[in-house]
Amino acid sequence: MKALFVQKSSIVRKIWGRADTCLFIFAGAAAEFALNKAVDWLYFTGRLPADPLGRLFSTVAYAHKIIFSEEDAALKAIDQITAIHKDVEKNRGSQIPDCAYRDVLFLLIGYSISSFELLDRKLSHPEKTEIFDVFHRVGVRMQLAGMPDNFKEWIVMREEHLQQNLISSEFTIDLYHQYKKHLGIIRYVILKQVQSQLVPSSVKTMLPIDKIAWSVPFIDLYKFLRTIKFEKPLKNALLPSKYKAEINKLDVVSGEGGLT
């Protein structure tokens, strides 16, 4: 039997094996993508503003693929990500800073934790360390410089990132305009409400999102429907039809997508 990149008993598989948790991670990522000082790299090809949901979802889908793959396949997927970005660097004639890659890994770690804790329960320190370890291995494979060695160091670097690498810019305004255009008003309002419950306070102040999370009772209702396994009709009603099939494929823990 071939080795897995992430063991089946791992909390990381539990987090990333539910489509709704992945969508919450996506929501948090969408917020920080819009503020990142290196977001101009994402605008360079023109694909991000043309299809922001598709581009951001592809990041989540790649992470999901890596987590649920055998070791060799996961490493190949990571190498493919590196190769794609090397091509972008060649076309632009300059190098993507390592901090931009680290920022993406950091937000995947951060929102894996906050999304699961919002929808399920508080995570223990060993579980948070396990989440860090998985994405740290991704960064090591990508040969990123300046990666933290452990979860404790990540907490410090994460705070530094929030203070130093984020800025509200014309890209922020444009991306939120694109989110609204591609999602429609109802889903856009829901996105901003989810973000208001997920993102750190320092991030919230920089975004065009609601500062008061009035949707808390609705999240509680969804969590209750989840416990009685009746959340699927509501979840499907809220999903953009263009991505519904792809998003449902992420649901592997509940059996809808089949365990890998």
What SS3 state is found at 70?
A: strand
Query: CA 141, CA 79: separation in Å to the nearest integer?
Result: 8
The pLDDT of residue 253 is 66
Q: Which two tokens stand for residue 192?
A: 């901003």
Whether 253 and 17 have beta carbons less than 8 Å apart is answered as yes
CA distance readout (Å), 150 to 75, 109, 125, 140, 157: 21, 12, 12, 13, 11
The pLDDT of residue 88 is 65
CA distance readout (Å), 44 to 39, 85, 94, 138: 9, 11, 12, 24
The pLDDT of residue 41 is 54
Residue 209, CA atoms < 13 Å, CB-side half-sphere: 36
Query: CA 13, CA 144: separation in Å to the nearest integer?
Result: 24
Helix (H) or strand (E) holding 90: helix 71-92
**The model's pTM:** 0.88
Cβ-Cβ contacts under 8 Å for 94 (sequence gap 6 or more): none
Helical packing angle, 19-35 and 170-183, nearest 10°: 150
The pLDDT of residue 110 is 96
The pLDDT of residue 221 is 87
Task: Give average pLDDT by consecutive 10-residue segment, the chain, 260 residues.
Answer: 91 95 91 81 58 77 92 94 76 71 91 96 97 96 93 96 90 90 90 93 90 83 84 75 80 53
User: How remote is the C-alpha of 93 from its chain's centroid?
Assistant: 28
CA distance readout (Å), 135 to 4, 106, 126, 243: 14, 8, 15, 25
Query: CA 122, CA 99: separation in Å to the nearest integer?
Result: 29
The pLDDT of residue 14 is 96
The CA-CA-CA angle for residues 60, 203, 57, to 5°, reads: 15
The pLDDT of residue 259 is 38
Query: CA 48, CA 63: separation in Å to the nearest integer?
Result: 18
The DSSP letter of residue 111 is: H
The pLDDT of residue 197 is 93
The pLDDT of residue 13 is 97
The pLDDT of residue 136 is 96
User: Looking at this protein, which amino acid is placed at residue 158?
Assistant: R
